[in-house]
Structure 1
Amino acid sequence: MKNCTQTQLIHAPRKAPQYISTVQPPLFRASTIIFENTNALFDRHWTDPYDYSYGTHGTPTTFTLGDNIAQIEGGDFCLLAPSGLSAINLVNSCFLKHGDEVWVADNIYGPNMEHLNNLQDRYGIEVKVYNSIDINTFTPTKKASLLWLEAAGSVTLEFPNLIALVKKAKELQILTVLDNTWGAGLAFNAFDFSSEHLSVDITVHALTKYPSGGGDILMGSIVTKNKEFYHKLFRMHAIQGIAVSGDDVAQIQRSLSSMKLRYEHQSKSTLTLLEWLKEQKEFVQVLHPADSESAGHKYWKDICKEGHSAGLVSVIFDSKYSLSDIRKFCDALTLFKLGFSWGGPVSLVMLYNLKDMRVLNHPHLKQGLLVRFCIGLEEPQDLINDIKHALKLLE
């Protein structure tokens, strides 16, 4: 029976073979997924390793990237989310309930802290703050259910006492979740990071940064080795209708092959800038975990065995410089662009007032306004010259 033209446009009589071998995996765009027959529809279960039932639950495109991210980070299961913050919020929604105590480092990613404070105000979650380099400030009660870790910490880049914190949390059966965006699964293995083979329970990762590498794609991931945790997260993921674009996934998949090269190059460039920044009289402190004077350096050295670190370095200006002076400095930079995020080809700069960002006192931090540099793929000497030129305006 021959169908009319309109029907043929939808149900083409000829169909090219669907699978060939290519460098990049094929891109699947799907909301509806067609079942071969009723057996395929009813014999499936959402806990199957690859449950192709609806676009939000996964396609070959999303599962391929998820498998690759899990492998890079040392885990077994991965879920994708529209952004790093979305991944963070999914974990909080999944594992926190009324009356629970959640512990966060004082240098945690700011939007995560804001989200948890919102949960505290609306749903009775109790937020507690600790100093990531002082294990004695982590004093959980029996209500504690989740410990947030970040290595290195946001903006001030202290590397936490990860071994001691995870040991203490495991003794008390507290879930450990690491924001692994800085390490990207390359600086250290979050699921096996000590001679005792310590592991966090879950990692989240802003794939927006190094996995994307272009400063143009938003995405996040959640990785674990625990199937029970994965199933709980998967159900919450489905209930909340969380989904990512197949096109965006394909872009990140395409960038993965160069991620390690970019990470190591930006890490090396940052160390070059670090040595130069330490010599400049305008800065009273330079913050980077690989620097022997930085807080948490010994913890970084114990865990990041190959000396890897992300392309971030922060400086604290002498307190004689006003906010107006620092704004003038940032505006004078030409290669460094004023913007949030990092991990892309273009170097970025951002200024912060730590008094507005921290709850605890941190004697290891000098007084003054802080500027964070995110090193891109430019030549380090060109970036140094850019900072030199901007500093002249402060003379």
Structure 2
Amino acid sequence: MTVAPRTALLHGERWPTADFEGMQPGIFNAATVVFADMAAFRARDWTRKDRFIYGPHGTPTTFELEARIARLEGGNNSLLCPSGLSAITLVYMALLKPGDELLVPINVYSANRAFIARELVEWGVQVRLYDPTDLESLAFSDATKLVWIEAPCAITFEFPDIPAITARTRDAGVLSAIDNTWGAGIALRPFDFQVDISVQSLSKFANGSGDVVMGAVTCAQQEVYDILKLCAMRLGLAVSGNDAASVLKGLDTLALRYHAQDATTRQLVNALRGNDTFEEVLHPSLESATGHAFWQRDCSAAAGIFSLVFGDAFAQSDVDRFIDALQLFKIGFGWGGPRSLVLSHGRSVASIKPLHGELVRFSVGLEAAEDLLADITQALRMLPKTAS
């Protein structure tokens, strides 16, 4: 049919892309997806990835990222979420109902803990804490439906015995879910240890640039994925093609960045652990770390974050002065990016054992190790001599 020019502008033929392949995947952004016919429309299924339905369901860009995350972690299927925290809360909302019981470690991530306390508990979900270093505390009831694992805690770095936990959950017929943001599929592949669900904040190591907020849930079982996907649909969770493309680029260098940041971090913690300014230096690679043997057995690397616990004589104001004196470590949330970060967590961290001093966590970027060590060394001079 013959149409007016303004109509022709809207209905021109699309350039074919089937025979085009560049170094990076195409970026597809869509809200509306056009169906070929009504038969295709009526056959739509939100849990399938062999066809497209609507922007939140997915595009070629987001489906490719999901496939690559699933391969990275060793799972069968992944689902993208707008943030790491939204990935965590999706697992809870999809799999738990009033009266069900959730077991979480004492040292669970603070934002995770806040959602549990302020939302899940008020919705009628029963929650019980367990000590990941003492599995006798991991007791199940008839109501237990899900066990949450942190490997390690991202502030104090206690590392749990993952195979022992998942052996117990499988014997009890209970699902297990792990926060694998620290392991990123590089240091730790959780599905090698019979974990059912893995959650990552892709904002961290996967993206690697500190400019995208995104999360992912990866599953071992199709039926669990289907439950999560349909819940995500009802919640309207979606990510943009541009953000997915940014994370896809980050995955190209993930292994190189991860191991480089790990190597620099080990140089720093080994140089600092003999300094009597600190009560403790916390990093899984150190023999003094809680769960070091489990990390050594199950992981191939140790990531780029560590914590320093200052001696009890140093006040918060002293530690703040130290942080303010740092030049290369910038103050901010997050980790896994190219520039080093620092953040004070005080003494109120949810940890396995009480802290006897101020805790400061460092995220190591891609700067030279000698420069970062020099930065910490010069900032330590700002501490009062009488305290040390």
The bucket for the TM-score relative to the shorter chain is: over 0.9
- 2:190 counterpart SS class: coil
Q: Distance in 1 between matches of 2:296 and 2:273?
A: 20
Q: Distance in 2 between matches of 1:89 and 1:120?
A: 9
Distance 1:95 1:291, change over 3 A: same
Counterpart pick for 1:392 among 356, 359, 381: 381
Counterpart pick for 1:289 among 284, 288, 310: 284
Counterpart pick for 1:211 among 203, 206, 210: 206
Q: Distance in 1 between matches of 2:157 and 2:14?
A: 54
Question: Which amino acid in structure 1 is aligned with residue 349 of structure 2?
Answer: M
The reply to whether residue 367 of structure 1 matches residue 356 of structure 2 is yes
CA deviation after TM superposition for structure 1 residue 121, in Å? 3.8
- 1:122 counterpart SS class: coil
**2:309 touches 2:360 (CA, 8 Å); kept in 1?**
yes
Question: Which amino acid in structure 1 is aligned with residue 312 of structure 2?
Answer: S
User: Which residue of structure 2 lines up, in the alignment, with residue 337 of structure 1?
Assistant: 330
Q: Distance in 2 between matches of 1:209 and 1:46?
A: 28
Distance 1:15 1:137, change over 3 A: closer
User: Which residue of structure 2 lines up, in the alignment, with residue 236 of structure 1?
Assistant: 231
The reply to whether residue 357 of structure 1 matches residue 349 of structure 2 is yes
**2:121 touches 2:127 (CA, 8 Å); kept in 1?**
no
CA deviation after TM superposition for structure 1 residue 181, in Å? 0.1
Q: Distance in 2 between matches of 1:167 and 1:121?
A: 27
User: Which residue of structure 2 lines up, in the alignment, with residue 246 of structure 1?
Assistant: 241
Moved over 6 A (4+): none
User: Which residue of structure 2 lines up, in the alignment, with residue 382 of structure 1?
Assistant: 371
Distance 1:6 1:179, change over 3 A: same
Question: Which amino acid in structure 2 is aligned with residue 297 of structure 1?
Answer: H
Q: Deviations over 1:233-285 (max 9, x none)?
A: 01101010111011100111111110000000000000000111102121111
Count of aligned positions: 383
User: Which residue of structure 2 lines up, in the alignment, with residue 153 of structure 1?
Assistant: 153
The reply to whether residue 48 of structure 1 matches residue 33 of structure 2 is no
CA deviation after TM superposition for structure 1 residue 169, in Å? 1.5
Aligned pairs (5 A) from 1:68-79: 68-79=68-79
Q: Distance in 1 between matches of 2:120 and 2:81?
A: 23
Residue ranges of structure 1 left out of the alignment (5+ in a row):
193-197
Residue ranges of structure 2 left out of the alignment (5+ in a row):
none
CA deviation after TM superposition for structure 1 residue 120, in Å? 4.1
User: Which residue of structure 2 lines up, in the alignment, with residue 99 of structure 1?
Assistant: 99
Identity over aligned pairs, percent: 39
The reply to whether residue 300 of structure 1 matches residue 295 of structure 2 is yes
Distance 1:2 1:361, change over 3 A: closer
Question: Which amino acid in structure 1 is aligned with residue 263 of structure 2?
Answer: K
Aligned pairs (5 A) from 1:11-26: 11-12=11-12, 14-19=13-18, 20-26=20-26
The reply to whether residue 170 of structure 1 matches residue 170 of structure 2 is yes
User: Which residue of structure 2 lines up, in the alignment, with residue 181 of structure 1?
Assistant: 181
Q: Distance in 2 between matches of 1:57 and 1:98?
A: 28
Q: Distance in 2 between matches of 1:246 and 1:296?
A: 39
CA deviation after TM superposition for structure 1 residue 339, in Å? 0.6
Counterpart pick for 1:346 among 314, 339, 346: 339
User: Which residue of structure 2 lines up, in the alignment, with residue 190 of structure 1?
Assistant: 190
Counterpart pick for 1:321 among 304, 314, 335: 314
Q: Distance in 2 between matches of 1:200 and 1:285?
A: 31
Counterpart pick for 2:196 among 177, 198, 201: 201
CA deviation after TM superposition for structure 1 residue 366, in Å? 5.0
Question: Which amino acid in structure 1 is aligned with residue 63 of structure 2?
Answer: F
Q: Distance in 1 between matches of 2:190 and 2:253?
A: 21
Q: Distance in 2 between matches of 1:103 and 1:140?
A: 8
Q: Distance in 2 between matches of 1:132 and 1:369?
A: 23
**2:205 touches 2:258 (CA, 8 Å); kept in 1?**
yes
In the superposition, the TM-score normalised over structure 2's length comes to 0.96
User: Which residue of structure 2 lines up, in the alignment, with residue 221 of structure 1?
Assistant: 216
Question: Which amino acid in structure 2 is aligned with residue 144 of structure 1?
Answer: T
**1:51 touches 1:58 (CA, 8 Å); kept in 2?**
no
Q: Distance in 2 between matches of 1:25 and 1:315?
A: 41
CA deviation after TM superposition for structure 1 residue 62, in Å? 0.6
Question: Which amino acid in structure 2 is aligned with residue 343 of structure 1?
Answer: G
- 2:238 counterpart SS class: coil
Counterpart pick for 2:268 among 265, 273, 276: 273
Q: Deviations over 1:320-371 (max 9, x none)?
A: 00000000001110100011110000101111123x332x761xx5511111
**2:131 touches 2:352 (CA, 8 Å); kept in 1?**
no
User: Which residue of structure 2 lines up, in the alignment, with residue 195 of structure 1?
Assistant: none
